[in-house]
Amino acid sequence: MKILVPIKRVVDPYVKVRVKADETDVELANLKMAINPFCEIAVEEAVRLKEKGHAEEIIVVSIGPKAAQEQLRTAMALGADRGILVEHDEALEPLSIAKVLKAVIDKEQPSLVLFGKQSIDGDNNQTAQMTAALAGMGQATFASCVELEGDQVKVAREIDGGIQTLSIKLPAVVSADLRLNEPRYASLPNIMKAKRKPLETVTVADFELQLKPHQKVIKVAAPAERSGGIMVGSVEELVDKLKNEAKVV
């Protein structure tokens, strides 16, 4: 079977972003970029399924600027077989991304589409669910364990009170939670090999989709700063402050 893994180029998770002075967006110029950590987990899971003999081919796809090639190459160095870059310079909303991915799914016909559960920039947590809806597939979000069983995929999901297990009919959409796996590091030989793997570039226009904006960003502001606190010298002082100053205990 074929596994499709959509990945996103995002600002590195360890970078603290700042809001632009004109409050139109966050400042992204010259920041270190990386594969969204949840997408990396999805790639790792696909590679493990292939290593177990469940999958023949892993295709990674990214919708974004030309520079997103770097993230596709990284995913190929981790074990994906080929990449598709749907070049698009402006940021797209989750629904538009889902529509593009639906078009890629129609063309590639994967049995499993493995997403990260959310991107750490937009924090939307929507694209997998939307893609599943558009493709008419079942969905298993926030996966912490994925097992293929015949024409079904059995997924343990992280829910609010614990873990829930579902069985979804293939083709299916699964979104990865943090604890699904520990992504491997790409070795130098694999990084070199990834350079020769096929990377197809198309544009959103190639799909003849009707994409329209559904929302307008009015402003992007910095959150209110917390007023600076104090250091206390002892446990006794802490208890005193909590009882008499903050009055929370």
Partner 1 sequence: MAILIIAEVDKQGLGPECAKVVGAASALGQELHLLVAGQGVGSAAEQGAKLAGVTKVLVADSDCYEHQLAEPLADLVVEIADEYSHILAAASAKGKDLLPRVAALLDVAQHSDVIAIVSADTFVRPIYAGNALATVQSLDDKKLLTIRTSAFDAVADQAPAEIHVLGNTQANDLSRFIGEELVVSERPELGAARVVISGGRGLGSGENFALIEKLADKLGAAIGASRAAVDAGFVANDLQVGQTGKIVAPELYIAVGISGAIQHLAGMKESKVIVAINKDPDAPIFQIADYGLEADLFEAIPKLTELL
- Please, which of residues 166-195 interact with partner 1 by CB under 8 A? 166-169, 172, 177-179
Positions 207 through 226 that interact with partner 1 (CB under 8 A): 213-223, 226
| Min dist. Cβ of residue 25 to partner 1 (A) | 8
CA angle 123, 127, 132 (to 5 degrees): 150
Q: Which single residue is written with the structure tokens 């083709």? A: 171
Helix ranges (DSSP H) in 52-177: 69-78, 94-108, 127-135
Positions 52 through 81 that interact with partner 1 (CB under 8 A): none
Q: Which single residue is written with the structure tokens 């970029």? A: 33
Q: Which of 12, 78, 28, 52 is nearest to 147 (CA)?
A: 52
- Taking CB under 8 A as the criterion, the residue among 48, 122, 197, 199 binding partner 1 is 122
What is d(CA 56, CA 53) in angstroms, rounded to the nearest whole number?
Answer: 7
Q: Which residues contact 249 (CB under 8 A, 6 or more apart)?
A: 239, 242, 243
Which one, 196 or 214, has the nearer CB to partner 1?
214
Residue span binding partner 1 (CB under 8 A) among the ranges 44-52, 53-61, 152-160, 190-198: 152-160
| Min dist. Cβ of residue 190 to partner 1 (A) | 25
> Is 29 a residue that touches partner 1 (CB under 8 A)?
no
> Is 31 a residue that touches partner 1 (CB under 8 A)?
no
Amino acid at 137: M
| Min dist. Cβ of residue 189 to partner 1 (A) | 29
Which one, 17 or 192, has the nearer CB to partner 1?
17
What is d(CA 206, CA 5) in angstroms, rounded to the nearest whole number?
Answer: 20
Which one, 31 or 191, has the nearer CB to partner 1?
31
194: enclosing H helix or E strand: helix 188-194
> Is 158 a residue that touches partner 1 (CB under 8 A)?
yes
> Is 22 a residue that touches partner 1 (CB under 8 A)?
no
Please give the biggest Cα pair distance in the chain: 68
Residues 78 and 186 sit within 8 Å (Cβ to Cβ): yes
> Is 21 a residue that touches partner 1 (CB under 8 A)?
no
- Taking CB under 8 A as the criterion, the residue among 67, 159, 192, 209 binding partner 1 is 159
Residue span binding partner 1 (CB under 8 A) among the ranges 8-16, 55-63, 82-90, 187-195: 8-16
> Is 24 a residue that touches partner 1 (CB under 8 A)?
no
